[in-house]
A and B are shown apart, each in its own frame.
Chain A
C-alpha cells in the first residue's frame, strides 16, 4: 500500500510537471499573440501586403506590440489590415504614426512596423486609420537596378573607348617619354630657382616698401614727408594757376583769331586787303619789281663810284686794313 502511494505521488508529480510545461508553453505562445490582456484595434490600408498574413507581428518603434488580427479586401487596390495592439501602447501611438510592411531579419516573416511621427498629434483611439507608407518591393528595386545596370554598361563602354583613345594618343606617348621627365625635372629645378629669385625680389620689394614707409627716397618723401606734400600741394596750386592763365590767354588768342578771321571774311582793314585783294597784289608785285630794278641800278652806281678817282684811295686803304687783319688772325 505504501508502495502504491509512493508510486501515485511520483505519477502525480510527473503528470503535473508535464501539464505545467504544456500550460507554460500555451501561455507564452498566447502572450506573444496577444491572447491574454486587453488590446485595441487600429486599421491600416495598403495597396500590397507583400505576403503579410493574419497572426504576423506588429512592432511599434521596433518593440513587439501586437499582431495582425484581420485582413479585409476593400477593392482591387486597397486592402484593410486590422491590427490588434496591446493596450499599454495606446498612450504612445499617435494618429499621425506611419505604418509600413517590413520583414523580420533578411528573410524572415512579414511584420507591420509602426513608426511615430515627429509632429504632434492626438493619441490613437479604437479603430483609427493610420497612414500607410508604401514599401518598395524587391521587384521594383530589381527593375531600377536593371535600368542602372544598363546605364553602367553604356557608361563603361564609352569609358572604354575614351581610355583606348587616351592610350593611343600623343599625350600618353608624352607621359611615357623618359626625356620628358628629364625636361620636366629641369623645368621644375628652374622653377625652383625662379621661385627663389621671386622670394628675393619680394624681399627687396618688402624692404623698399619698408623704406618708403619710413620716408626714405623720393617716393618716401613724396608719400610720407608732410612738408614735401605741402610743397607739392603749393606747386600743384601754382600749376593750376598757370594753367588758368594759359587758359585765359588761349581764350584771348581765340577771340583775336576769331576777330581777325571776321575781319578777313568781311574784307575791312588793310590786312584783308593785303591778303585777299588781287589788284593790290598786282600793284605790290609791280612795286617789288621796280624796287629790284632800282636796287640793281644802285649797285651799278656804287660799282662805278669805286672806280672813280675821287673815292679810289678810300677803297684801297680799306682793302689793305682788311688784309692786315687776316694776316694777324692766321698767325
Chain B
C-alpha cells in the first residue's frame, strides 16, 4: 500500500515538475524579460561558482591521471595517458562532475532561497505588487543555470586538463605543448559537441528542479531545508538520467 502511495507521490511530483517546466516555456521566456535580474543571477550562479568548479575540476584531473597511470603502465601505453584522460574529461567526467557540483551548490541555494521566500510569503507579496514572481524568480534562475553551466563546464574541463598535465608530470616529464597536442589530436567534434550540448540540459534541470522545489516549498522553515535537500538529490538524479539519454542519443546519431 505504501509502495503504491510512493509510486503515486513520485508520479505526482514528476507531473508537477513537467507542468512547472511547461509553465517556464509558456510564460517564463516571453517578454517582458527581467534582464537585470538575469544578469545578476548569472553573476551569482556562474561567476561565483567558478572557484568551486575550478578547484574540483583541477583535483579531478589530477586524481584521474594518477589513478589511470598504473593501469596504462601495466599495458605499456603510458604515453597514451594524456589521450585517455583528455577523452574521459571532455566526454563524460567533466560535464557530469561539474553538473553535480553545480547542482550541489546552486540547486540547494535556489531551493532554500525560493523556499524561504515562499514560506515567508514574499512571493505572494511580489504577486500583489504586480511583479510576476515566476518570471522574476524562476525564469531568470533557470535561464541563468542553463546558460552558465556550459560555460562552467568548458572552463572546468580546461582546468581539469591542466590538473591532468600536472598529474602526468608528477611521475614522468611531458611538455605542456606535447600534452596539449596529444589531447586535441585524439578529440573530435563527436566528443566535444554532445558533451557540450548536454550541459545545457543539465543546467536547465538544475535550475528547474531547484526552482520547483523552492517554489512549492511548504511546512515552514523545516520545509525550506527539505526543499534544499530534495532539490540537490533530485537534480543530481535528473542529471544522470539526462546523461543516460544523451549517450543513447549520440550513439543513435553515430557520434560515438
A residues with CB within 8 A of B: 4, 7-8, 10-11, 14-15, 17-19, 21-22, 25-26, 28-30, 32-33, 55, 64, 105-108
Contacts and interface: CB of A to CB of B under 8 A. Distances in A.
A33 to B, nearest CB: 7
A19 B151 contact: yes
Given A14-B151, A29-B184, 13 more contacts: A11-B42, A11-B46, A11-B47, A14-B155, A21-B158, A25-B184, A26-B189, A28-B184, A28-B187, A29-B192, A30-B189, A32-B185, A108-B80
Nearest to A13: B47
A7 B43 contact: yes
B205 interface: no
A319 to B, nearest CB: 142
A18 B196 contact: no
B77 interface: yes
Contacts of B126: none
A32 B190 CA distance: 13
Q: Which 4 residue pairs of A and B lie closest in terms of their CB atoms, listed nearest first?
A: A18-B151, A7-B43, A28-B184, A11-B43
Contacts of A55: 188
B71 interface: no
A189 B43 CA distance: 103
A93 to B, nearest CB: 21
Interface in B184-225: 184-185, 187-189, 192, 196
A14 B188 contact: no
A14 B158 contact: no
Interface string B149-166: 011101101100000000
B39 A18 contact: no
Nearest to B187: A29
A18 B152 CA distance: 7
Contact of A18 (B36, B154, B188): B154
A107 B75 CA distance: 11
A11 B48 CA distance: 9
A316 B39 CA distance: 196
Interface of B: 36, 39-40, 42-43, 46-47, 50, 77, 79-80, 150-152, 154-155, 157-158, 184-185, 187-189, 192, 196
Given A18-B150, A28-B184, A32-B185, A4 B47 contact: no
A106 B184 CA distance: 20
A8 B43 contact: yes
Contact of B189 (A14, A22, A29): A29
B40 to A, nearest CB: 7
Given A105-B77, A105-B80, A22 B184 contact: no
Contacts of B46: 11, 14-15
Q: Which of B39, B151, B188 has the most CB of A within 10 A?
A: B151
Contacts of B192: 25-26, 29
Contacts of A22: 154, 196
10 contacts: A4-B40, A11-B43, A18-B151, A19-B151, A25-B154, A25-B192, A28-B187, A32-B185, A55-B188, A107-B77
A10 B45 CA distance: 12
Nearest to B180: A28
Nearest to B75: A107
B143 to A, nearest CB: 13
A92 B42 CA distance: 52
A18 B43 contact: no
A45 B230 CA distance: 60
Contacts of B188: 29, 33, 55
Nearest to A25: B192
A164 to B, nearest CB: 41
Given A25-B192, A105-B80, A14 B185 contact: no
A21 B154 CA distance: 7
A272 to B, nearest CB: 120
Contact of A4 (B36, B42, B150, B155): B36
B40 A7 contact: yes
Contacts of A32: 184-185, 187
A60 B154 CA distance: 33
Contacts of B189: 26, 29-30, 33
